[in-house]
């Protein structure tokens, strides 16, 4: 009886182990794996790939040898009641050899590793500089005035998605407004912590147009999991078009339209937090949002060109319906830039998620906005609070925001 | 059969019962009757206990009992712990109506005296020999008592010393320490020179010294600390609106000029010989960019490096924005600056700018007071 139950237990364990191993193996074959470090899409990620693959193979071989020897020793010398063998006090020759071999392997690994680290921290060949700033729980992206990036004459500011020209050495200068975040686009480069008060550099270069996903990789609180980002690489020509759109003048909605009502609602409800460049009050003075007085991080996404992006709220939800999304995200490298530049048309707007956000943002994305629990942050919320808007106000705002492109 | 004690208790109980009845009938008072009845009950109970234990009396005919009875044991020496315990209770009570500190001292005294009393009482029952008992007590209590007493003693001395030092003026501190040093050296010399000096004398001298220190500390503590001058900082300069000045102020004295090489600052702004302000990043500077871009509401560290011949400060006027952010906005100044930085020196300036540059009429500009040509635009998106 006892033996059979032990055997049963053993075989059950083996079965569970096999299933787990199978699960792991299958997970490794995911078809849709947009954040795959083993699928580099630019020279920086390629450098990492060229380093990690040989090292993984080497480590695998070493691991196999060690495991085989261990298994052999365990079986061959298991306790069969034999006498205890003669005890020795070490074997200097063997020990020296077993020290020298790993040392040589480590030296062999360290040379290309240090080389790669140095190559990835190179900044001399930069052709375009972009700033990213993390805060709970989204990334801000801004493009300082420069001759680089094909020339930027007026600061561009956006959020969640970073648009870059292909074949260009981009230098991302990152920091944070609150806690430590980490910026990682696995197919383009390694990860980098973004630390308040410090500026850390990441090189980016994409060979082909495409949308490269990533997410914050340093636990940063409640909605860490909803702090995602994308890099959109497009041909330099398309990039010029995108830039021109971001630097364009504000166009107010036509009088009497739903969007015009939306503008008024936006000014009343949203503009204390969100900047829309060019928005003016009745006296013609620019309306300056004061997120520094309204939210803990002191910043909110700039909504001037909201609908030129295709995700929102920490790139965690799509601004496009699934069909329209697939049209852009699955487009070939030749067409993806063009498709992305189409922005969000009224037909393509993912109004379910978007309206849910406007109806009650913290219900969609966990954020610290409950007024009774803001003592620690001096009464300031972390994230967008529930504004208690009515459905007609939401209609107006959607109409207004759809024109922000 | 009835021992002395039980006779007394039985008598008292009977008397209390009679008194209860008499009082109850004659006076008709409920409270008094209850009180007397309680006394009668209590006394009867005690009398019962006493009869049961035979009053611990020893019969004169029992020879062995004479040696072993409690009365035959040597009486323990006088103890100060009951006194200390009572004192603790009083201090605690006083503390309840005066200060919390007194209350805490009372608790500590009560606990310490209680613990000592308990250990002593326990040790005194260990054997019939007083010397052995006191040894037992020491073995149990000393490992705790010595370090605790030492810590309290050292704490008291250090605290008293610090009070005296904070009370003395800066110069007098120097004199006092000189005198103290001289005394210590002389005493040490004396002890070394005359080894015959009785240790009682030495202990006495040191004891008097410590006592003087503690008394001095208490007096100095009550009198308060000397005025400590607070060094002015650049924040004070900003508040007074004098970041525009190339003059030297107190804030500029003894300013720390070093910044770690790994600081990863947002930008390094350099003033060169020709009076130009230029900036560098920890990577390349954006080509063709004359202005520096720093994020809004983000703590940005800017390093000012002075390569001009004179001591200079870097200043920034913030227009409508303030150097604070969020809640502390109210009284935050509208400018920031470094202290005067010597030639080839560097100093960090941390900026958190709440408003974008479009909010300031002419944007933001770094400048160097006293150098007209030194100007650098700052863009905040
Ligand atoms: Cu994060």
Q: Walk me through the domains of chain A, giving residue ranges and CATH numbers.
A: 258-309+344-401 (1.10.760)
Same domain membership, residue B290 and residue B217? no
Mean pLDDT of B52-77: 65
Residues in A touching B350 (Cβ below 8 Å)? 197
Residues in A touching B327 (Cβ below 8 Å)? 378-380
pLDDT in tens, A102-161: 999 999 999 999 999 999 999 989 999 999 999 999 999 999 999 999 999 999 999 999
Last residue of a domain, one of B24, B47, B72: B72
pLDDT in tens, A186-204: 999 999 999 999 999 999 9
Which range has highest mean pLDDT (A21-30, B72-81, B256-265, B306-315)?
Answer: B306-315
Residues in A touching B286 (Cβ below 8 Å)? 129, 144-148
Candidate from A7-21, A134-148, A239-253, B179-193 with smallest mean pLDDT:
A7-21
Mean pLDDT of A286-291: 92
> Which pLDDT score, from 0 to 100, does residue A28 have?
61
Cβ neighbours around B29 below 10 Å, total: 12
DSSP designation for A122 = -
For residue B327, pLDDT over 50 is answered with no
What burial class does residue B372 get, using C-beta atoms within 10 Å of its C-beta: 0-12 exposed, 13-18 middle, 19+ buried? exposed
Residue of B nearest to A131 (CA): B295
CA–centroid distance, A276 to ligand 1, in Å, is: 25
Integer Rg of chain B from CA: 40
Same domain membership, residue B253 and residue B346? yes
The answer, for A281 touching chain B at a CB cutoff of 8 Å, is no
> Which pLDDT score, from 0 to 100, does residue A2 have?
46
Last residue of a domain, one of B179, B203, B228: B228
φ, ψ for residue B106 (rounded to 5)?
A: -60, -45
Residues in chain A: 405
The answer, for A133 touching chain B at a CB cutoff of 8 Å, is yes
Provide the pLDDT confidence category of residue B68 given band limits of 50, 70 and 90. low
Q: What is the mean pLDDT of chain A?
A: 91
The answer, for A286 touching chain B at a CB cutoff of 8 Å, is yes
> Which pLDDT score, from 0 to 100, does residue B3 have?
73
CA–centroid distance, A220 to ligand 1, in Å, is: 5
For residue A9, pLDDT over 90 is answered with no
Whether residues A175 and B301 touch (CB distance < 8 A) is answered with: no
- The residues, any chain, with a CB within 8 Å of residue A190's CB and separated by 6 or more, are A44, A48, A120, A184, A202
Mean pLDDT of A169-179: 94
CA A79 to chain centre: 53
The DSSP string of B217-255 is: HHHHHHH-PPPPPPPP-HHHHHHTT-TT--S--GGGTT-
Whether residues A380 and B327 touch (CB distance < 8 A) is answered with: yes
Distance from CA of B260 to the nearest CA of A (A): 12
Q: What is the CATH number of the domain that holds B298?
A: 2.60.40.420
Distance from CA of B351 to the nearest CA of A (A): 9
φ, ψ for residue A270 (rounded to 5)?
A: -115, -25
Provide the pLDDT confidence category of residue B210 given band limits of 50, 70 and 90. confident
> Which pLDDT score, from 0 to 100, does residue B261 have?
64
* More confident of the two residues B123 and B28: B123
Whether residues B298 and A175 touch (CB distance < 8 A) is answered with: yes
CA–centroid distance, A270 to ligand 1, in Å, is: 24
Integer Rg of chain A from CA: 28
* More confident of the two residues A236 and B66: A236
Same domain membership, residue B253 and residue B202? no
> Which pLDDT score, from 0 to 100, does residue A403 have?
94
Whether residues A177 and B299 touch (CB distance < 8 A) is answered with: yes
Residues in A touching B381 (Cβ below 8 Å)? 142, 155-157, 302
d(CA A139, CA A300): 10
* More confident of the two residues B58 and A230: A230
Mean pLDDT of A330-339: 93
pTM for the full model?
Answer: 0.72
CA neighbor of B367 nearest in space, from B343, B352, B349 = B349
Provide the pLDDT confidence category of residue A1 given band limits of 50, 70 and 90. very low
Whether residues A148 and B288 touch (CB distance < 8 A) is answered with: yes
Please calculate the CA angle B258-B263-B265 and round it to the nearest 5 degrees. Answer: 105
CA–centroid distance, A315 to ligand 1, in Å, is: 12
Whether residues A275 and B356 touch (CB distance < 8 A) is answered with: yes
Whether residues A299 and B296 touch (CB distance < 8 A) is answered with: yes
d(CA A33, CA A44): 19
Residues in A touching B325 (Cβ below 8 Å)? 292, 298
Side-chain half-sphere of B143: how many Cα atoms within 13 Å?
3
Whether residues B326 and A147 touch (CB distance < 8 A) is answered with: no
CA–centroid distance, A180 to ligand 1, in Å, is: 7
Whether residues B326 and A380 touch (CB distance < 8 A) is answered with: yes
> Which pLDDT score, from 0 to 100, does residue B44 have?
92
Q: Is residue B282 within a helix (H) or strand (E), and if so which, with residue range? A: none
Of B288, B298, B379, the CB nearest to A177: B298
> Which pLDDT score, from 0 to 100, does residue B292 have?
92
Whether residues B379 and A151 touch (CB distance < 8 A) is answered with: no
Same domain membership, residue B311 and residue B204? no
Residues B86 and B109: beta-carbon distance below 8 Å: no
The answer, for B356 touching chain A at a CB cutoff of 8 Å, is yes
d(CA A264, CA A393): 10
For residue B352, pLDDT over 60 is answered with yes
Same domain membership, residue B272 and residue B204? no
Whether residues B286 and A378 touch (CB distance < 8 A) is answered with: no
When divided into structural domains, chain B yields a total of 3
For residue A269, pLDDT over 70 is answered with yes
Residues in A touching B326 (Cβ below 8 Å)? 292-293, 296, 298, 378, 380
d(CA A144, CA B267): 13
pLDDT in tens, A69-80: 999 999 998 888
Mean pLDDT of B156-173: 88
Same domain membership, residue B150 and residue B199? yes
Of B287, B288, B355, the CB nearest to A288: B355
The answer, for B291 touching chain A at a CB cutoff of 8 Å, is yes
Residues A387 and A265: beta-carbon distance below 8 Å: no
Find the distance separating the first CA and the last CA of chain A, reported in whole Å: 75
Candidate from A76-90, A177-191, A244-258 with smallest mean pLDDT:
A76-90
d(CA A24, CA B21): 94
Residue of A nearest to B285 (CA): A129
Of B264, B286, B327, the CB nearest to A129: B286
| Interface TM-score (ipTM) > 0.90 | no
Q: What is the mean pLDDT of chain B?
A: 84
Interface test with B, best of A127, A151, A168, A175 (most B CBs within 10 A): A175
Range of the domain at B325: 234-379
The answer to whether residue B315 sits within a structural domain is: yes
The answer to whether residue B98 sits within a structural domain is: no
Find the distance separating the first CA and the last CA of chain B, reported in whole Å: 106
What burial class does residue A126 get, using C-beta atoms within 10 Å of its C-beta: 0-12 exposed, 13-18 middle, 19+ buried? buried
The answer to whether residue B42 sits within a structural domain is: yes
> Which pLDDT score, from 0 to 100, does residue B167 have?
87
For residue B316, pLDDT over 70 is answered with yes
Side-chain half-sphere of B186: how many Cα atoms within 13 Å?
8
SS3 assignment, position B347: strand
Same domain membership, residue B239 and residue B222? no
d(CA B317, CA B335): 5
The DSSP string of A213-234 is: EEE--S--STTGGG-EEEEEEE
Q: Is residue A156 within a helix (H) or strand (E), and if so which, with residue range? A: strand A156-159
d(CA A309, CA A230): 10
The answer to whether residue B257 sits within a structural domain is: yes
Last residue of a domain, one of B211, B228, B245: B228
Residues in B touching A378 (Cβ below 8 Å)? 326-327
Same domain membership, residue B209 and residue B242? no
CA–centroid distance, A404 to ligand 1, in Å, is: 27
SS3 assignment, position A285: coil
Same domain membership, residue B362 and residue B243? yes
Same domain membership, residue B208 and residue B181? yes
The answer to whether residue B223 sits within a structural domain is: yes
d(CA B14, CA A400): 101
Residues in A touching B284 (Cβ below 8 Å)? 123-124, 126, 129, 171
The answer to whether residue B310 sits within a structural domain is: yes
The answer to whether residue B248 sits within a structural domain is: yes
Same domain membership, residue B306 and residue B288? yes
Same domain membership, residue B257 and residue B165? no
CA neighbor of A205 nearest in space, from A221, A229, A185, A219 = A185
d(CA A109, CA A106): 5
Of B299, B355, B356, the CB nearest to A196: B299
Residue of A nearest to B296 (CA): A299
Residues B120 and B80: beta-carbon distance below 8 Å: no
d(CA B253, CA A89): 67
The answer to whether residue B82 sits within a structural domain is: no
CA neighbor of A302 nearest in space, from A156, A402, A196 = A156
Residues A197 and B266: beta-carbon distance below 8 Å: no
Of B264, B326, B359, the CB nearest to A298: B326
pLDDT in tens, B150-161: 999 999 999 998
């Amino acid at each position: 009886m006892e033996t059979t139950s032990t055997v049963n237990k053993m075989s059950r364990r083996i079965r569970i182990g096999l299933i787990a191993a199978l699960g792991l193996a299958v997970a490794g074959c995911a078809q849709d794996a947009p954040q795959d470090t083993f699928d580099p899409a630019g020279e920086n990620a390629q450098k990492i790939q060229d380093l990690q693959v040989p090292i993984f193979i080497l480590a695998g071989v070493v691991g196999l040898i060690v495991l085989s020897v261990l298994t052999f020793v365990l079986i061959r010398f298991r306790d069969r009641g034999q006498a205890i063998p003669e005890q020795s006090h070490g074997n200097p020759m063997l020990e020296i050899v077993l020290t020298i071999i790993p040392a040589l392997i480590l030296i062999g690994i360290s040379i290309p590793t240090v080389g790669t680290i140095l190559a990835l921290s190179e900044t001399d060949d930069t052709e375009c500089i972009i700033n990213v700033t993390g805060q709970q729980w989204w990334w801000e992206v801004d493009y300082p005035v420069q001759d680089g990036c094909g020339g930027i004459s007026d600061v561009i500011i956006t959020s969640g998605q970073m648009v870059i020209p292909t074949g260009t050495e981009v230098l991302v200068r990152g920091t944070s407004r609150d806690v430590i975040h980490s910026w990682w686009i696995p197919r383009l480069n390694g990860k980098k912590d973004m630390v308040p008060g410090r500026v850390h550099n990441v090189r980016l270069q994409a060979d082909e147009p495409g949308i490269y996903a990533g997410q914050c990789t340093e636990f940063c609180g409640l909605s860490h999991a909803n702090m995602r980002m994308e890099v959109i690489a497009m041909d330099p020509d398309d990039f010029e078009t995108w830039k021109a759109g971001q630097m364009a003048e504000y166009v107010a909605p036509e009088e009497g339209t739903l969007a015009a009502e939306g503008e008024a609602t936006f000014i009343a409800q949203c503009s204390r937090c969100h900047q829309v460049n060019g928005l003016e009050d009745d006296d013609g003075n620019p309306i300056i949002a004061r997120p520094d007085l309204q939210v803990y991080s002191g910043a909110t996404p700039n909504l001037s060109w909201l609908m030129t992006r295709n995700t929102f709220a920490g790139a965690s939800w799509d601004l496009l319906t699934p069909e329209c999304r697939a049209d852009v995200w699955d487009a070939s490298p030749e067409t993806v830039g063009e498709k992305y530049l189409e922005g969000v048309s009224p037909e393509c707007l993912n109004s379910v998620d978007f309206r849910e956000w406007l109806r009650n943002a913290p219900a969609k994305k966990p954020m610290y906005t409950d007024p009774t629990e803001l003592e620690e942050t001096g009464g300031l919320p972390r994230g967008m609070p529930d504004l208690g808007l009515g459905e007609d106000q939401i209609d107006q705002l959607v109409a207004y925001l759809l024109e922000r492109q | 059969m009835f021992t002395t004690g039980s006779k007394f208790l039985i008598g008292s109980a009977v008397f209390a019962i009679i008194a209860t009845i008499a009082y109850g009938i004659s006076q008709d008072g409920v409270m008094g009757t209850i009180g007397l009845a309680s006394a009668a009950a209590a006394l009867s109970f005690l009398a019962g206990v006493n009869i049961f234990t035979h009053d611990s009396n020893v019969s004169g005919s029992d020879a062995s009992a004479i040696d072993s009875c409690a009365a035959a044991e040597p009486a323990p020496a006088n103890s100060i712990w009951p006194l200390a315990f009572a004192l603790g209770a009083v201090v605690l009570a006083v503390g309840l109506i005066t200060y919390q500190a007194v209350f805490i001292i009372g608790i500590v005294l009560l606990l310490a005296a209680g613990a000592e009393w308990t250990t002593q009482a326990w040790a005194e029952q260990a054997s019939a020999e007083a010397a052995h008992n006191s040894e037992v007590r020491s073995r149990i209590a000393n490992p705790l008592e010595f370090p605790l007493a030492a810590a309290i003693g050292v704490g008291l001395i250090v605290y008293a010393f610090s009070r005296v030092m904070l009370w003395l003026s800066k110069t007098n501190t120097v004199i006092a320490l000189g005198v103290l040093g001289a005394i210590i050296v002389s005493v040490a010399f004396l002890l070394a020179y005359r080894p015959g000096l009785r240790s009682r004398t030495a202990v006495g001298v040191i004891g008097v010294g410590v006592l003087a220190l503690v008394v001095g500390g208490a007096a100095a503590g009550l009198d308060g600390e000397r005025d400590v001058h607070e060094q002015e900082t650049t924040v004070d300069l900003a508040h007074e609106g004098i970041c525009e000045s190339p003059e030297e102020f107190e804030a500029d004295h003894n300013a720390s000029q070093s910044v770690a090489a790994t600081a990863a600052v947002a930008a390094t702004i350099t003033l060169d010989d020709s009076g130009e302000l230029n900036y560098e990043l920890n990577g390349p500077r954006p080509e063709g960019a004359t202005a520096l871009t720093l994020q809004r509401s983000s703590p940005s560290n800017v390093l000012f490096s002075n390569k001009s011949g004179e001591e200079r400060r870097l200043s920034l006027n913030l227009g409508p924005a303030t150097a604070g952010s969020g809640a502390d906005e109210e009284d935050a100044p509208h400018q920031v600056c470094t202290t005067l930085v010597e030639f080839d020196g560097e100093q960090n300036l941390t900026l958190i700018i709440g408003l974008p540059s479009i909010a300031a009429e002419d944007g933001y500009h770094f400048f160097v007071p006293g150098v007209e040509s030194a100007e650098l635009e700052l863009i905040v998106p």
